[in-house]
Every structure is written in C-alpha cells, then in structure tokens.
Amino acid sequence: MAERATPALYTVPAHRPFADALAAGLIAQTGGDRLALARGLILVPNNRAARAVSDAFVRRAEHGLLLPRLVAIGDLELGDGPGHALDPADAEPVPPAVDPMVRRMMLARLVSEERAKIGEPVDAAEAVRLAQALARTLDQMMVEEKPLRALAELDVEADLSEHWQRALGVLTAVLTRWPDELRAMGRIDQAERRNRLLDRAAVAWRSGTAQGFVVAAGIIDTAPAVARLLRTIAWMPEGRVVLPGLDLSMPQEEWDALGPDEDGRAIETHPQFHLKRLLDRMGLARSEAERWGWGGGSEAAASSAARGRAIANAMKPAAFTGKWQELPPAERRLSGVRALECATPAEEAQAIAIALRQAIETPGRTAALVTPDRTLARRVAAHLWRWGIVVDDSAGRPLSAMPSGTLLTAIAEAAASGFAPVELLTLLKHPLVTGSVERWQWLAAVRALDIALRGPRPAPGLAGVSGLVRDPENKLDGVWWSGVLDILQPLEEAFSGRVTLPAMLAAIREAASALTQEEAWAGPAGRAAAELFEALEASAPLGPSELAPAAAGPMLARLMDEVSVRPPQGGHPRVSIWGLIEQRLQHADFAVAAGLNEGVWPALPSPDPWLSPRVRRELGLPGLEWRIGIAAHDFASLLGSPSVLVTRARRDARAPAVASRFWLRLEAMTGGIARAPHFRRWSAAIDRPDAFAPADRPRPAPPADERPRKLAVTRLDRLKADPYAFYAQEMLKLISLDPVDAEPSPAWRGSAVHEVLEAWAKEDGCDPSKLAARAEAMLDGITAHPVLKALWAPRLRESIAWIADEMLAALATGRKPLVAEVFGEREIDGIKLYGKVDRIDRMPDGSLAIVDYKTGQPPGTKQVAAGYAMQLGLLGLIAENGGFKEVSGKAGAFEYWSLAQKDGRLGYVAPATGKRAGIDPAEFTALAYRNFAEAAAKWLTGDEPFLAKLHPELAPYADYDQLMRLDEWYGRQGDGA
C-alpha cells in the first residue's frame, strides 16, 4: 500500500461540537455518495461515543443515509472490545479472552494462597477485593506492554518499606503463576487480546485490505497498540485521525514542558498531556495536525474561538501561569460562562434543576447536566421529575442501589447477623418481597412481627424469633411465619459453620427467588443481577474456599457497585444527564458542569494496594494522577458549549468542601467568573413562597363531655406541663414504640428491676435473703450486648444488695411491708384517679409509707414544691380513700428508694416530704389533691384547650413533637399563650 505524503491528522477544537463536525465533514467528503459512506469504517473510543456519532449522522440525514460502520476499540477502562471488524475471518483466530469474573475469582484464589504462605491469610471477600485491584494493575502492565517478568527483575526492594516489600512479593508470586493458569484454560487476558487484534488490523490495513475510508475519531487512549494503529490510519490514503481538542495554539515551550523529561517526569494532570503522549507514540508532531475543516463549517460553532483561547490559557502548566498577568482582557474573558456557588449539595441540585428547566423553555434548545457525582445527578433528576420532566442519566445507576441489588444485600446481611431484628425486618419489608401472598397481607404480618421485635433483642437465630411467634401476647400469624421459616432456614444453614462462596451464593439466590416469586430477577436491574449471579456462581468454584459470613454483604455490594443499570430510552428529548465519557464528543446548547469540588471533579486518584509509586515509575507505568489530566480535558471540552453554568457546593454531606483546582484556575485567570445568583434565589424561594404560612401552635379543645374521666397518677405532670401530649396519648391513643433491637434503656431496665422486686414481694414476702437470687436470674435472661450487660450487671447487683440491707434494717425497726405492685383507684371530683404503687409499708406508728422504686434520680424538691411530681401524694390520696384493697390508714411517709449513686455508693432513700422539701408529710396528700383538682377542673371537666408545650422546661419528652409540628412554631409563640 502506498502511503500518503503527509499524515492525515486533524483535530476538532473544543468550541466546535465534535460529533457534528465529524459527520458534516464525512458527508461532504463523500459528495453525497451513500454507498461510499456506507463502505467507511469509523473507530471510536466506546459504544457511547458510537451512539453520539450515529445521532450526529441522523441529524443530517435529510433524505436518508447508509451509515458507516462504527466500531468501539476500547477506551481506557478496556470495557468495550475491538469487535469483529478488526479480526478477519480468514486469519488465524486469536485465543478468546478469559471471562472477567472467572479471572477475578482465579486471581482471588492465588492472592489468598500467596498471602497464607507469608502468614497473612485473608478471607474470600478481602481476596476478591484485592483481586480487582490486582486485575487493574495487570491490565495496565499489558496495555503498556510491560512483560510480567519485569516485576521479578526490579531491584528496588531495599528502598521500599516492609509493607510494600510484602505487597510486591505477593504480586510477583501471583503474576508468576498467572500465565500457567491461563494456558491451562486456553485463554488470554482481555488486554492482551485487544493488543493482538489492534496490531492485526494495523498489519492488514498497511497491506491495503481496507475497502473504504477508515477514520479514528475521538480516541485519546495512549496505549502503544492504539498508537500504532492510529499511525497506520494516519498514513493510509483513505485514512484520517481526528483528535478531540488538541491545542494547536499552545506555545511550543509549554508543549515541551508537559514532558516526559530526561528523568521521566511529566505533567500528567494537564489536559493536553495524554494527547502529547499519544502523538509521541504515533511518531507524529503536533505541527502536522490540522483543524478539521471538512463540511465548510456547516455545523454551527458551539462557542467562540476567543473562549477556546481563554480556556487554553486557564489550563496552562503551573510554571507558565504568570503569563496571565500579561494577557489582554479579551484573552481572559469567558463570555457565556457563569458560575453558581451554593451552600449545600441539596441547594445545588435544586438550582441546577431550575436552570435546566429554564433552558428548555426556549423551543428546540437542548440542555445537559455533566457531572461525575452520581448522587447529585439523581437529585437533579428527582427535582426535574416534580415538573413532569423525565430525564435519563446515561451513566445509569449502580446495581447495588437498585431494588434487586438492595434485596440481595439485605438477604446476605440478615443471614450473617443471625437474623437480628433490624436486619430481618429490613429484608422482610423490602418492596420486592411478597412471599406467596398479596403484598398487603405480607405487610400486615410483617408489621405484627415489627411490634413483637420492639425492645431488647430476642435469642439469636430464627429460633429466637420463633419463640416470639409462639407467645400468644404477640398475636403473630404462625402459619405465615412457618412459610417464612421454610424460606430462611436453608439460608441460616448456609451461613453457619464453614461458609463457602458457592453455597452462600446458591442460598441467597434461592431465598431471593422464593421471597419475591422471581421478581428479583425481572426488569433491567433484575436481569443485571441475574447475569452477575450467573457469572459469580460459575466462577466461584475457581475462587477462594472459605468466606466470613459478615463479609458476604459488603462483598456483594462491592461487586454490584461495578454494574451499571442504564434506563431504557424514553426520557425528555432535549434534557440529558451525561457522565464525563458521554459528553466528550457532543455538546448541548446549555451545559451545566456540576460538582466542581476537589475529590469529585477531579476525583481523588484510586490507591493501588500492590505497586508503590516508586515501582510504578521503575516499570514505566502511568502515575496514579493520570486520570486528572483526562478529567481536565473533559472539563475544557465542556466549557466549549454555547452556554455553560459551572456549579459547586461549599460543603458536602460531611464537611466543608474545597473548590476544584479547575474552578480555582478559572477564578484566578479571569479575576472572578461572572455569577448567576438568580438561580440560587429561585431555589430558595421555590419551596418557601410569599404566602408561606407555618403551622400555628396546636390547641385542640374537644367538648367537655368527650374528655377523659380518668387520670393516672403518673399522667398529672404531663397534663399540666404539656396538655397536648396528654391529649395525643389519652384521647388520640397514640403511644410511642420502643426501638427495634433496642439495647436495654433506662425505662426498660427500670421495668426489669420492678418485675424482680414485684416477684420478691409477692412470692418471697420481701425476704432480704432471696432478693439476690431473683436478680441473678433476671440478668441471665437478658440478651443485651455483652459490653452493656457487663457494665450494668455490677451496678444492679450492688443496688439490689442495698435494697436487701435497707429492708433488713426496716424490718428490725418494726416496719412491715403490706402490699407491692398493686393497682388502686378512687373516684374524686368526678374523675377516676388510678395508679399502681410499688410498695406500701405499715410504719411502727400505724401510718402508711408510700414507696416508689427509682433506677435513676428521684424528682427534685423544687419540682415538688412547684406542684409537680405528685405521684406519691396521689397514691397516698387513693390509699387514704380505700382505693387499695387490704390497706387502710393515714399516709405519713413518702419515700423514693433510688438505685442511683450518692455519696460514693449505689442506693439511697430520698423522702419526698419533710424539712428539706419544705412540705409537711401530713399535708402532702392535701397538696396533691389541690393540684389534681385544679388540673382536672381545667382540662378534664372544663373546656381549657390542650395547649402544646405549656411549660416546655417541665416537658422534656419529645414523643409528640413531630405531631405538634414543634419546629414550625416553637420560638414564635410570643407571650407563651
């Protein structure tokens, strides 16, 4: 084949839309010959680029076109294969590539074996994680055509830390064994296969086998095999290489400064570095490139050439940024570019959605959001949906965030936890789970189980939950639970004892199918999950043997993070959400570059657990920061759109954020990018209109004849301090539930102690010698966290011992317990007053002592003096009126037996009356009556509104704060009325 005199090397500047310029030029070159266009071949980086080029041709197909073949030859991630177009049918076949999941499992097994040899064993989940990083390292070495033996030939161990020496030793051992593993399977690595196919195509085309034009468009991969192919294309008579955004006006000294220099140093973070490396490997000079001018400029320029020069100036290497001071204003002006800085990602997403909506108000105008932050992209899509604008995120969503993925993770985590309450309910409430009944029937049964699991954790495993089901008080559907057991018991067996990866995967698959009636595998996400599990189960026998149960969920989540589920087409035709790859070859009329914070755009370099920076340099591999240069090139290309809004949030979900280096460069060169503050104002106003009317302080006032005619002695304080809370509890019958799988709370511990003391009084007659045994039995039955139990048990033993000693001393003085934990009631002023007394004793003088056990601090004397904490007085009032059976007499003592600490020991008696409290014991029941009568006359028999938080300082509980919409009105109530 005769080569041309000069290479056909072109570039499309950033201010022109690449795909449209390419399509217009090729149509013009073929002169309207449809068959000539159809005989052509266009090589693009990936399938998404192929779609963009195809769409550009369609936009120009006025009378129909036969499109050229579009072949993706694989981008930097090696995700897209070179295709059959590069592999002639009559040539000797290239061995097939090993399946990625098979390779990962095999590498995981080798890593596990080699780590065990050096005394640092890892389980299967960690081995799979390390294998993925090792696979990336292996791919880089093959892409850069570095032989695996180069690792063994390195002489750098003396300069490495002990950690890196061990990592290098394991890596060398694994890669020494790896070729034999592949030969035994008759496979080769994907990267090696791509290299062979690219070289085969280059040889064939040099021999003149191409039947039409061949164009390499938008390829920025610097792999040696890609560079050789592009060089071949550039010298072919019908070949053309079209690079995106090659800066032809960059001064030569700046171009040369990009490196690499004699010591191998290079500015890999510069947006032009990867293009320079590609040209160097192609053996071509930048001066041999021309601007792509075919088509006569029929495609409209996205932006001005002046902006393109300003962008290039902003991206100068650091050593040359001093030239910014010498630039005339026209060379530093970014006309058409606006900036928006928001306080939070939520505000940023809302403002972006408003900007996109405003853009498409103009008929025919297109708009796109470009960001590497997928969370931000989902937020913007959600905001657009509220206006009926459905927009597709072309980057998709990770399988781990889709319903099928979260279900598989929930199954693994539930089994690994021994079906602990939170994990079990998370699984059973999953939206895909229905069992064999209707969804509403399933949820009704799950809600009953949810109620039963409130409070401390039951015994571990499904047996512990089954014990709750058998308890008649829980009112659970035993038939339903039997069906659940049939599904979950095989899973429990697979996760007990020696857990193997194949058995674990099979159990999860079967459980997912049974719980969802196969819905787990339906739809795009379900199909992706099915394909992943198929690959995992086929390759699991080749991987590590044992797996830690707790690692199963995280391992599945990590694997599913790598699987993108893209939505079917059908979103808004003029609004798009693109990742960085999607926007490289296309422009929208209005583009938003969002998430411009350091660590997001550009992303932080992914750490390499296998190769230290020194070893990477010795091998000649790209540094870890080479992706920053790609991100910079993408950003510069996006700034070439007709109208651009760049945005960032000053903080992320955790802490203040640092502005991206790209943002800071634009700010520094321009002296400050023009702002677009109206989007932030609109964002703040859209959910807080002028007619904003927050809720008023609630004050329900039901008729007096509908109000309660009974009052518990423990409810008087709530009625007086927070009448609304009393109304919600007593009239609306709303009660707060204990948390699921709760550690023993102070209230629960108090109830447990009361149960012990009740049994001790009723069954042992308050015999001090029998109290300790009952306390130990109660401690043995607690299923709390071992640490919490270890901290609480000694305190309980000491305080129980104090009660026994105190009772022994009281008995010695002639004091006699009468009743314990008994219910009493009496109608007083038309209201039934009732309560349960912890203990009533007969004092030596014949009076009654009302005793209340407290596991915490008793009420203070100031609280009692203010008319609160009247519980003991009201119990005494009931006793004096004969409300407790077998008890009569005048109440003369009111005592709190507290198990809290005082004076260095646990347990003390705190009288509620006396000189210290300033209340005569003989008058305490009368004081309690007056407080009761006043409150009852106002709120129970009267018409006083149940005002929310009447005395907030005495109403610390927040059970009903959300119901009363406290945050909307608290602090605005003025005089407190």
Reported as a single tens digit per residue, the pLDDT across 719-775 is 999 999 999 999 999 988 888 877 665 555 666 676 777 777 777 767 777 777 766
Mean pLDDT in residue range 62-81: 68
pLDDT at 445 over 60: yes
Cα–Cα distance list, 579 to 50, 278, 394, 571, 614 (Å): 15, 23, 7, 16, 32
Radius of gyration of the chain measured on its C-alpha atoms: 38
Task: Summarize pLDDT for 251-273 with one digit per residue, the tens.
Answer: 999 999 998 877 778 899 999 99
248, 12 Cβ separation under 8 angstroms: no
Q: What's the predicted TM-score (pTM) here? A: 0.83
pLDDT at 77 over 50: no
Top mean pLDDT of 526-535, 560-569, 758-767 is at: 526-535
Which amino acid, one-letter code, is at 413? E
Give dist(CA 413, CA 654) in Å, integer.
26
Task: Summarize pLDDT for 943-954 with one digit per residue, the tens.
Answer: 999 999 999 888
Mean pLDDT in residue range 285-300: 74
Which are the contacts of 7, defined by CB distance < 8 A and separation ≥ 6? 231, 234, 235, 241, 284, 288
Q: Given this model, what pLDDT does residue 643 score?
A: 93
Least confident of 684-693, 706-715, 918-927: 684-693
198, 225 Cβ separation under 8 angstroms: yes
Q: Given this model, what pLDDT does residue 647 score?
A: 96
Percent of the chain with pLDDT over 90: 43
Q: How confident is the model at residue 608 (pLDDT cuts 50, 70, 90)?
A: confident
- Closest to 891 in 3D by CA, of 837, 829, 813: 837
Which amino acid, one-letter code, is at 916? R
Least confident of 322-326, 534-538, 741-745: 741-745
216 bridge partner residues: 43, 241
Give dist(CA 458, CA 465) in Å, integer.
7
Give dist(CA 122, CA 594) in Å, integer.
40
Angle at 245 between CA 243 and CA 250, to 5 degrees: 115
Angle between helices 661-670 and 305-314 (to 10 degrees): 110
Q: Given this model, what pLDDT does residue 81 score?
A: 45
Angle between helices 190-206 and 124-143 (to 10 degrees): 20
How high does pLDDT run on average in the chain? 86
The two beta strands, 9-12 and 816-828, are unpaired
| CA end-to-end distance (rounded Å), the chain | 96
Token pair of 655, please? 């802490």
Which amino acid, one-letter code, is at 113? E
Q: Given this model, what pLDDT does residue 285 score?
A: 94
Mean pLDDT in residue range 215-228: 92
Q: How confident is the model at residue 84 (pLDDT cuts 50, 70, 90)?
A: low
The two beta strands, 290-291 and 9-12, are parallel
Q: Given this model, what pLDDT does residue 182 score?
A: 92
817, 841 Cβ separation under 8 angstroms: yes
Strands (E), 101-252: 214-217, 239-244
Name which residue leads in pLDDT, 632 or 497: 632
Q: Given this model, what pLDDT does residue 298 score?
A: 46
188, 182 Cβ separation under 8 angstroms: yes
Q: What is the DSSP letter of 91?
A: S
Q: Please tell me whether residue 976 adopts helix, strand or coil conformation.
A: coil
Give dist(CA 228, CA 218) in Å, integer.
16
Give dist(CA 433, CA 445) in Å, integer.
12
Least confident of 30-34, 266-270, 884-888: 30-34
Q: Please tell me whether residue 605 adopts helix, strand or coil conformation.
A: coil
Give dist(CA 261, CA 847) in Å, integer.
100
Task: Summarize pLDDT for 791-812 with one digit per residue, the tens.
Answer: 566 777 777 778 778 888 888 8
Q: Which residue has the tokens 């962008």?
A: 311
Q: How confident is the model at residue 784 (pLDDT cuts 50, 70, 90)?
A: low
> How far is Cα of residue 146 from the mean position of the Cα atoms in its chain?
38
Give dist(CA 133, CA 108) in Å, integer.
10
List the strands of the sheet with 239-244, edge to edge.
69-72, 41-44, 214-217, 239-244, 9-12, 290-291
pLDDT at 295 over 80: no
pLDDT at 248 over 50: yes
Q: How confident is the model at residue 706 (pLDDT cuts 50, 70, 90)?
A: very high
448, 477 Cβ separation under 8 angstroms: yes
Mean pLDDT in residue range 359-386: 93
Q: Which residue has the tokens 């959400």?
A: 577
- Closest to 128 in 3D by CA, of 563, 540, 549: 540
Q: How confident is the model at residue 135 (pLDDT cuts 50, 70, 90)?
A: very high
Token pair of 743, please? 């550690």
Q: Given this model, what pLDDT does residue 748 score?
A: 56
796, 804 Cβ separation under 8 angstroms: no
Q: How confident is the model at residue 675 (pLDDT cuts 50, 70, 90)?
A: very high
Mean pLDDT in residue range 631-652: 92
Token pair of 960, please? 């009903």
pLDDT at 455 over 50: yes
Task: Summarize pLDDT for 296-315 with one digit per residue, the tens.
Answer: 444 555 567 788 888 888 99
Q: Which residue has the tokens 């020069």?
A: 309
